[in-house]
Amino acid sequence: MYCGALGKRGNCQIGVSVNLVSDHASAAVDWRLFIPDSWDDATAEDDELLAGAIRARRRRAGIPDRVRHKEKWRQALEMLDEVRDRWELPGLPVVADAGYGDATGFRLGLTERGLAYAVAVKGTTSAYPGHARPERPPYSGRGRPPRPAYPMPHSSLRDLVLAAGRGAARTATWRQGSKSSPRNPRAEMRSRFVALRVRPANRDIPRDVDGSLPECWLLAEWPPGAAEPTDYWLSTLPADTPLRELVRIAKIRWRIEHDHRELKNGSGWTTSKAAPTSAGTATSPSQPSPRPSAPCSGSTQKSLRRPDPLRGPPRVTEDPGHLDRRLLDMRPTRTHSRTPPQDLTKPY
């Protein structure tokens, strides 16, 4: 796959990770190796010669027989179940990049588990405006009565935001960075955002009895001077969530990029942007707290100087209840001071 650090295509290992994240700290707590279908002999059962070559390749690489091809978003869901069951963590909101957010099955899987999310998606994702309602066509008296349906064709997220216009965008600050300037002496990370209620329209999304699709948030970043929005998220956070909180949670994924960079610098890994990650967040609209997330990829370029996180399940060295309490203690203390907390992280 293509690796940005190499500037070319190269051989690499792709790891899917789940990270627990707060505003000021984060850590990967579970890892799995992603196996593409070209490395799974079960996908080549009709071609014995090809299947034999894949088995030989797997043996040379030391891949256990139990490790098979599975989509990264399915692995992420399984690992979220694993982390929640093992540590008995509360249902924390999940943040993920478009590699996971664009998978309707991933979003539905989070909803089935009762997990709120704020996941990046493409602007071409289909949706209806939040106020749209299905209508039942008149019945002719013959055959099966028609089902309720939306009278107008669906739009894309991009078109919905453009229809709302630049005037719908509001400025929001999500954290303090480390690069100040005369125009921004406090190094605030801020941009302009549009938040709309929408109804994603993928055919796999279940509809209510009246034919309506579930409603959620569409968050779009529309930087000053940009001709159109640059980034899009779908979120099932409560309908009364303030804009700043929506932005803070959607943008918290930078902590995962920070973790990947630390992994590269500290362990000799090179992270691959082709299958980046997800971060998780546990928050209520009133107060931030810790959170779980989804996956990342990496390519090993030299021997690791630390234990390989892809080998074996993570070890829990203390009582899960103690760990849970420590994670919850990572929440920043709320004060009445208007001075932002000091950011001790590197700028990325």
Domain that holds residue 205: 2-35+70-131+152-328
Through-space distance between the first and last CA atoms of the chain, rounded to whole angstroms = 24
Please tell me whether residue 60 adopts helix, strand or coil conformation: helix
Q: 309 φ, ψ to 5°?
A: -70, -10
pLDDT given for residue 3 in this prediction: 72
Distance CA 284, CA 290 (A): 10
Residue 318 reports pLDDT greater than 50 = no
pLDDT of residue 283: 34
Q: Which residue has the tokens 């749209």?
A: 132
Strand partners, 26: 21
| Within-domain flag for 343 | no
pLDDT above 50 for 288? no
Please answer whether residues 310 and 31 qualify as being in contact, where contact means their C-beta atoms are separated by less than 8 angstroms: yes
Residues composing the chain: 348
Buried b (16+ CB within 10 A) or exposed e, 314-344: beeeeeeeebeeebeebbeeeeeeeeeeeee
CB 280 within 8 A of CB 21: yes
- pLDDT value for 268: 54
Q: How far apart are CA 118 and CA 238, in angstroms?
A: 11
pLDDT for 160-213, tens place per residue? Answer: 999 999 999 999 999 888 788 888 888 788 999 999 999 999 989 999 989 999
Residue 275, domain member (yes or no): yes
- Residue 158 domain flag: yes
Q: Where are the beta strands (DSSP E) in the chain?
A: 2-3, 8-9, 14-21, 26-34, 94-96, 117-121, 126-129, 155-156, 170-176, 188-200, 216-221, 231-235, 269-271, 278-280, 282-284, 287-289, 291-292, 298-300
The secondary structure element, H or E, covering residue 254 is: helix 254-267
pLDDT-derived band of residue 317, with 50, 70 and 90 as boundaries?
very low
* β partners of residue 117: 94
Mean pLDDT of 29-52: 89
Residue 174 within any structural domain of the chain:
yes
Tell which wins on pLDDT, 255 or 236: 236
Residue 110 maps to which CATH number? 3.90.350
Structural domains counted in the chain: 1
Please give the Cα distance from 271 to 292 (Å, whole number).
20
Specify the pTM. Answer: 0.74
The stretch 25-31 carries a mean pLDDT of: 87
Provide the 3-class DSSP secondary structure of residue 23: coil
Do the domain assignments include residue 59?
Answer: no
Taking the C-alpha atoms of residue 211 and residue 134, their distance in angstroms, rounded to an integer, is 6
Backbone φ and ψ of 339, nearest 5°: -80, 125
In Å, how far are 9, 34, 296, 320 from 302, measured between CA atoms?
Answer: 17, 19, 18, 34
In a domain, 305, yes or no: yes
For residue 348, being part of any structural domain is answered with no
- What is the model's pLDDT at position 296? 32
Tokens of 17: 């990770």
In a domain, 52, yes or no: no
Measured over the CA atoms of residue 103, residue 109, residue 114 and residue 115, the dihedral's sign is negative
Choose the most confident range, by mean pLDDT, from 77-81, 276-280, 306-310, 327-331.
77-81
- Is residue 128 within 8 Å of residue 154, measured between CB atoms? yes
Under a CB-based contact definition with an 8 Å cutoff, are residues 51 and 39 in contact? no
